Amino acid sequence: MIIVDGQPSPLEVVHFQNLEQIIEEVLDGERMRSRIVTDVFVNDEAFSEVYPHQAQDVEAHDINRVEIVSVPAVEMARNIVAELHKVVSLMAAAGQQVADFFRQADDAQALELYSDLLDVHRDFLAMVGVLRNEFGVSAPAEFASSLEGLSVLFTELIEIQENQDWILLADLLEFEYLPMVDRTKALIVQLHNSVEESARKDSHD
C-alpha cells in the first residue's frame, strides 16, 4: 500500500523494484507539483537516507506500506523565513555575549559560545541557500549585499580567532558584526514579502 498525504494512492508497491522508484513516481505526479516531501515512512518506520540513493537498497519485496507526507512549497518557505528571524536573533544575542565574555577575560566561556555562534551562522546561510535554490525565492538586493558582507566579515573573524587576538575579535563582533546582523534582521521582512509574491504567482499559474 502507498499512502500520500493521508490518501491511498492508486500506485502499488508490487509494480516497483525499490523504494527510490516509488518515491520518484509519486513526485512525478501532478498532485505533487509545488509540494515538498517532509517525511517518508516505510512499514510505519521513519526513513531518511544516510547516503545518496539509499532508497534504492530498500527492495520492494520488503515493503508492505509506504507513506509519504508533503507540504506546499510556499508553506515550507514561509516556515524557513520565520525560522530565519529566530536564527538571526540568536546570532545577535550570541555575538554580544561573546564580545562581553572576551572583554571580561573569560576566554573559555567566550570560545565555547563563539563555536555555537559559528554553527548558528552556518545554519542561517544554509537556510537562505535553501530558499534560493529549492524555492526560487529572489532575495532583495540589499539582503544579498548584507549576506555577502556577513560572509566576508565572518572569514575575518575566523582569521582573528586563529591569531588569538580576543580584544580585536570582541571589537569586530560588537562594532561591525552586530550592526550588520541587525540590518539583516530588518531585511528578512523583505524576504518574507518575496515569498508571498512567489506564492501569489504560483496561485495564478
What integer is the mean pLDDT of 81-104? 90
d(CA 185, CA 13) in angstroms, rounded, equals: 47
Mean pLDDT along residues 42-69: 94
| pLDDT at residue 203 is higher than 60 | no
Percent above pLDDT 90 for the chain: 45
Average pLDDT, the chain: 86
Q: Does the predicted model carry a pTM greater than 0.85? A: no
Query: Among the listed ranges 63-72, 103-112, 125-134, which one has the minimum average pLDDT value?
Result: 125-134
pLDDT score at 172:
93
| pLDDT band at 140; cut points 50, 70, 90 | low
Print burial letters for 12-26: b (CB count within 10 Å at least 16), e (below 16).
ebeebebbbebbeeb
Summarised one tens digit per residue, pLDDT across range 63-76 is: 999 999 998 877 88
Q: What is the mean pLDDT of residues 186-201?
A: 72
Which of 76-80, 134-138, 149-153, 173-177 is predicted with the least confidence, judged by mean pLDDT? 134-138
Residue 202: per-residue pLDDT: 59
12 versus 75: the higher-pLDDT residue is: 12
| pLDDT, average across residues 123-139 | 71
**C-alpha distance from residue 5 to each of 68, 77, 101 (Å):** 6, 19, 49
* Beta strand spans in the chain (E): 2-4, 7-8, 35-42, 45-47, 66-72
